[in-house]
Structure 1
Amino acid sequence: MTVRQISPHVHVETAHLGSNNSIITGKHGLALVDTPHRPTDAIAWRKTADQLGDTRFVVNTDHHPDHTIGNYWMGGEVVSHRGTRERLLHDAPDHDYLAKLFARIDPAAVALLDEYRVRVPTVVFNDQLDLHLGDVHLELTFQPGHTANSLIAYLPEDGVVFTGDIVCEAGLPSFQDCRVADWFDAIDKVAGYDFEFLVPGHGEVAGRDVLDRYREWGRDVVGQVAEAIRRGEDSDQASAEIRFVDNIHVDTDDYVGYPDDLIEMFQRRSIARIHADLLERPDLSSR
């Protein structure tokens, strides 16, 4: 592991396959933001957290597997937006999907599947919730963007904002669970926070400059879809032709990434989602 302490109370791991994982330390225990995708990473991450204190809260920034699978191995209560709990209750990956995925990204975890259970949040909120750890507190705010149930976590004492996949320094994530208007609005919402450090959903810890870069990446792919619509292309045509660079699900020097068919599915569904939104609101192409 390559855990980095970025502020007096925050430790971050950015080298895991899947979401970044953070630990906030307070006098009255720990809060974790998102959990590792690979079960073997999650088991090791639990040991790292236990060395720093007792985990009181585990915050999920959305319902996607790369943010939530590791919940099972963590201590504390799982906290999320209400919509994340509902998605995990009714739409979590099934055993067969996980068996196929783990066989590729974490072969040692296949043996753990019989014991694994989806661990859903037991503390949920609609709009805002504060988690207090004694000398610091984490402000959770519902902010649809990457998904309809995404949230932003903010540690004002240290000037650290945790965006989940609302902002990714590594590149664009999937658009399949978003609405384009919400996607851009969420970036603007993050820009309104007073922060020194931005912990993204994927990629390295960044500063304010990452927001403009991320927004431009989004504008580029939305612009490509808008141009396809102007040419008269339907959703299937645009989805077959337009691609954006995926630095999130692919192989890295350290880990094997998702199988090609899943990455292709994410791309097609993302372009189809953008296409549908632009048909409804053509003005979004100028965001």
Structure 2
Amino acid sequence: MSGWQTIESDAGVFTHLIEELGVPDIQFEEIHTLDADALKALPQVYGVVFLFHYNQSATSNTENSSTPKDGDWDYQAAEDIFFANQTIQNACGTQAILSILLNQDINIGPTLAAFKEFTTGFPSELKGESLSNSEQIREVHNTFAKSSPFVDESTRPATSDDDAFHFVAYTVVNNKLYELDGLQRAPISHGACTKDEFPEKIISVLQKRIARYPDGEIRFNLLAVTQDKRIRARELGDEETLEAENKKREEWKFENELRKHNFVGFTIELLRGVVKDKIKTGEYDAWVKDATDKAQARIAEQQQKRRE
């Protein structure tokens, strides 16, 4: 693969991605409700990654605005913490992840530690260019892209008809709640915040952001970056949780392997076998007629619903 490929907003994808980058003892957990208790129930939370439909009128700011719609620009923080401008398509998921990990006092492994050291002191634009040009990080990122025999979306320009989605990171650094979005000019501060206060304050920030979208918009996804839940389970001797988490890891591993494979050829061969068997047994014509009748019935039902 060349360039940066699109990856899914998925806890299993992100967890195994950072493991491949050498980050230990961290996992991602999908949050299904905007409820602070959902975050409080997790072991130590380092931040959240928020995926949303990119609606210019609902984003934190426009290119020419003097202030964000929520919070305040913190230009000094752009120099003091890891903040990178996004300089390439499809990298925003991994960039949001790094915006959290590289701003926490945790073991991020040798690959990311070397990258952080290399970019320390760089302006945000150059940090973004350094990330875009990191072959090691890009190669790991791309191993989690879905295999497809069709159009490579990264090779064509975006159009106004495309549904654009974007990832941003929220995390606490130096007792402030920051929104770290590579498309913005600087980190956005949402005020003083301790790590203990983070669950309550981040939910409030996200609720305000989502409220700017039209009614019925549901294309959001929230992932918490948290300590590996198996660590606390081992400390507490909670065998049930440990078993459940190990099983979840196995499921994630299986799903990630499936993402890497192209099943179109297999499906075509399977269909050929079915057709050949139907012809051999004399059931082909009846099989096709039955399928056609069912398709027409579904179309008629849909048309009726539209009229109603």
TM-score (norm 2): 0.24
Larger relative strand fraction: 1
Structure number with greater CO (CA < 8 Å, separation at least 6) is 2
Larger relative helix fraction: 2
- Give 1 or 2 for the bigger CA radius of gyration: 2
